[in-house]
Structures are given as C-alpha cells and as structure tokens.
C-alpha cells in the first residue's frame, strides 16, 4: 500500500481516487486519523504491505492527476537506507574488511577533507561524525551520480557546533 502527499489523501478518499480494498483496514490501523505526526513538514508517507500476496490498499502517486501507484512508482525512502548500510557494514566487519574504530579516511581518503579526518566508521554509524546533512545544492541528477555524490559529501565541512567527532549525536535525514 502506498499513500503519498498527506494534504491530498483525505481528498483522494472523498473523491474515490484512493481505494481501501480490505474493508477499511488502512483507516483502522491508523485510528482513522493522519498517520503523519502533527507539525511534520514532509509532503507525505509511503507504506507498503502485502496481504495474501496482494497490496490491500492503493493510493495515488500523483493526487493532482489521479495517477495510481504502480509497481514501478519511485518513492524517496530516506532513512530506509540506514538499515541497508548498517547491514552491509556489519557483513564487512564479520569478514574482517572494515574496523569500526578506524577513521573513515582509511577507506575513503577524500572524506578527511575539511576537518573530518578523525571521524571513525563507528562515528558515522552512530551519527556522531559531525556531518549532519547532505550538501544543500544536490539535485536529483546528482543523487544518481556516484562520483558527484562522493565528491560533494567528502567536501562537506565537519559541523562546527562541536569541537570534534563523537561528542554528540545528530541524525542525518
């Protein structure tokens, strides 16, 4: 099930452009209310669930046009990548290919630029590397270009709020 753009969701249900094919299970699992936290500025949420091999609820990929969600519909998954990255790193650790307490720059020399030379793999995994966000000028095209993203992230300065990595945890979203 995928429902995006919360400001349009209620309208989509009212207009019949979003269907709940399982007798209201979507609404009942969320108490009939908005599953997005009050004050959240995200444009919407994506949720996928299968029941007996079928998606019980379908939303509009684009509420303005009514274009339905399809298997090929792309969604920004934000923090889902954190679990994938952590799993990959833990596998590399089991194989002896990475050491959590070594500086990231041992594996990615360019990362040491702009004061990040002391940030370890463990600091990155625990959100204590002093790099709280993506570069502000990243475009969708850049996100698909590995070399451009590696260069942009390596060029980021360490957050100046703290004198060195590991002092505080900040979540990169």
What mean pLDDT is predicted for residues 114-135? 84
Q: Active site includes 51?
A: no
**pLDDT > 50? residue 112:** yes
Reported pTM: 0.55
The values of phi and psi at residue 107, to 5°, are -95, -25
Point out the least confidently predicted range of 121-125, 140-144, 163-167.
163-167
User: Of the residues 28, 48, 49, 79, which is catalytic?
Assistant: 79
Mean per-residue pLDDT, 75-88: 82
* Cβ count within 10 A of residue 30: 13
Average pLDDT, whole number, for the chain?
A: 71
Query: Residue 111 — φ and ψ, nearest 5°?
Result: -65, -25
Give the C-alpha distances (Å, rounded to integers) separating 37 from 33, 43, 73. 10, 12, 24
Summarised one tens digit per residue, pLDDT across range 18-46 is 444 444 444 444 444 444 455 555 555 66
What does R_g of the chain's alpha carbons equal in angstroms? 20
- The predicted pLDDT at position 164 comes to 52
Top-confidence residue, 61 or 142: 142
* Spacing of C-alpha 73 from chain mean position: 16
Within 10 angstroms of residue 83's Cβ, the number of other Cβ atoms is 9
């Amino acid at each position: 099930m995928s429902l995006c753009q919360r400001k349009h969701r209620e309208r989509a249900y009212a207009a019949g452009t979003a269907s709940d094919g399982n007798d209201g299970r979507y609404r009942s699992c969320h108490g009939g209310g908005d599953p997005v936290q009050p004050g959240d500025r995200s444009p919407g949420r994506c949720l996928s669930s299968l029941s007996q091999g079928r998606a019980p609820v379908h939303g509009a990929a684009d509420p303005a046009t009514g274009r339905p969600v399809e298997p090929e519909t792309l969604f920004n998954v934000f923090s889902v990548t954190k679990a994938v990255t952590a799993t990959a790193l833990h596998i590399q650790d089991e194989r002896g290919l990475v050491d959590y307490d070594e500086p990231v720059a041992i594996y990615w020399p360019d990362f040491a630029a702009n004061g990040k030379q002391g940030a370890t793999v463990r600091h990155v995994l625990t959100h204590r590397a002093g790099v709280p966000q993506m570069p502000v000028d990243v475009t969708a095209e850049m996100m698909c270009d590995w070399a451009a993203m590696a260069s942009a992230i390596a060029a980021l300065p360490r957050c100046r709020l703290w004198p060195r990595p590991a002092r505080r945890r900040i979540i990169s979203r």
